[in-house]
């Protein structure tokens, strides 16, 4: 175990700490051969800094927010993982909350002060940024019971942007989690985001947005540069296209979209692309972007 004269070597302690964001637990130090007295001596001399009742920082007392999450996870036992809203912070999907959520196996009864512990029969977890954390799928299912639909949509969107999981993959994975709280709400949110409007409904929802920024009625479903476009303002040289899905599009579809946009740009036009879900559910955002682009083109 790397011990010398009955004491663990510095490298053996650091080896554990380096895998745990600079932290070690009492049980790990004990397994390396340190007695309670030896641990207390190292705390007294500043080689260890007590962070939680059984968790110590090696060589430094200052911790960043993720280090503190790690300390709470370690304080809940070796099979614990950051979960729920705390997991979204670790994954970078949302800011870290003030209260730390940690999931533990149902047989574990640890409840460190200030930590919200979730005892569970099963949950999926891995290591991300050096912290044990529930998987992206598990995390999104868990927070579906805690967030409203719009914040949940935002979390799904951010997970997609970060390449943690795309919505189609997420949708396909939900079957394996049937019965878990949050699955139904998450599935409903995904259905809402991938809803496809008809051309008639799209025009009915989009045209008032365009009027709101002072644009004249556009030509609709007309051919421009060899492509049929959704909306076209010839006087501004503005083409607005819409996509049926907010999220995952196949590489072939993405390539065709780029060719369309590049062709319009080569002809001196300004292509602007929204999703049909944005038109339906985020009209204020669509209006703000359209207003700024129209202002620039008029100027």
What whole-number distance in Å separates Cα of residue 288 and Cα of residue 213?
Answer: 8
How far apart are the C-alpha atoms of 92 and 103, rounded to whole Å? 18
pLDDT (tens digit, 9 = 90+) per residue, 249-272? Answer: 567 777 888 999 999 999 999 999
CB-based contacts of 41: which residues, under 8 Å, 6+ apart? none
What the block records as the tokens of 297 is 């083109």
How does DSSP assign 17-72, residue by residue?
Answer: HHHTTTEEEHHHHHHTT--HHHHHHHHHTTSEEEEETTEEEES-----HHHHHHHH
> What's residue 244's pLDDT?
61
Q: What is the pLDDT of residues 11-37, one digit of tens each?
A: 788 888 889 998 999 999 999 989 999
How does pLDDT run across 64-82, given as a tens digit for each residue? 999 999 999 999 998 999 9
Tens digit of each residue's pLDDT (9 = 90 or more) over 135-189: 999 999 999 999 987 788 888 888 988 889 888 789 889 999 999 999 999 998 8
Give the other-Cβ count within 10 Å of 193's Cβ. 20
Counting every residue written for the chain, the total comes to: 299
Q: Is the pLDDT of residue 2 over 50?
A: no
Q: How far apart are CA 249 and CA 210, in angstroms?
A: 26
Cβ atoms within 10 A of the Cβ of 27, count? 12
DSSP result, 68-103 = HHHHHHHTT-TT-EE-HHHHHHHHTSSPPPSSEEEE
> What is the pTM for the complete model shown?
0.65
Residue 234 DSSP SS3: coil
């Amino acid at each position: 175990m790397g011990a010398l004269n009955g004491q663990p070597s510095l490298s053996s302690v650091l080896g554990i700490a380096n895998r745990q964001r600079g932290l070690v637990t009492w049980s790990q130090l004990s397994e390396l051969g340190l007695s309670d007295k030896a641990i207390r001596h190292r705390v007294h001399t500043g080689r260890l800094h007590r962070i939680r009742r059984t968790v110590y920082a090696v060589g430094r007392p200052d911790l960043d927010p993720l280090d503190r999450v790690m300390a709470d996870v370690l304080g809940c036992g070796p099979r614990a993982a950051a979960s729920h809203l705390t997991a979204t912070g670790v994954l970078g999907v949302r800011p870290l909350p003030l209260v730390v959520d940690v999931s533990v196996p149902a047989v574990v009864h640890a409840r460190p002060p200030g930590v919200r512990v979730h005892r569970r029969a099963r949950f999926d977890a891995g290591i991300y940024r050096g912290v044990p954390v529930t998987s992206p799928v598990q995390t999104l299912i868990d927070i579906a019971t805690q967030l409203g639909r719009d914040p949940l949509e935002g979390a799904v969107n951010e997970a997609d942007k970060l390449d943690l999981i795309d919505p189609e993959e997420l949708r396909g994975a939900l079957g394996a989690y049937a019965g878990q709280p949050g699955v139904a709400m998450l599935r409903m949110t995904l259905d809402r985001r991938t809803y496809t409007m008809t051309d008639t409904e799209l025009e009915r929802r989009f045209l008032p947005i365009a009027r709101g920024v002072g644009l004249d009625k556009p030509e609709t479903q007309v051919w421009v540069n060899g492509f049929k476009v959704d909306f076209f303002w010839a006087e501004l040289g503005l083409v607005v296209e819409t996509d049926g899905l907010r999220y995952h599009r196949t590489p072939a579809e993405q390539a065709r979209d780029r060719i369309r946009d590049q062709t319009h740009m080569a002809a001196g036009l300004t292509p602007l692309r929204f999703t049909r879900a944005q038109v339906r559910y985020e009209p204020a955002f669509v209006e703000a972007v359209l207003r700024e682009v129209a202002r620039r083109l008029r100027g």
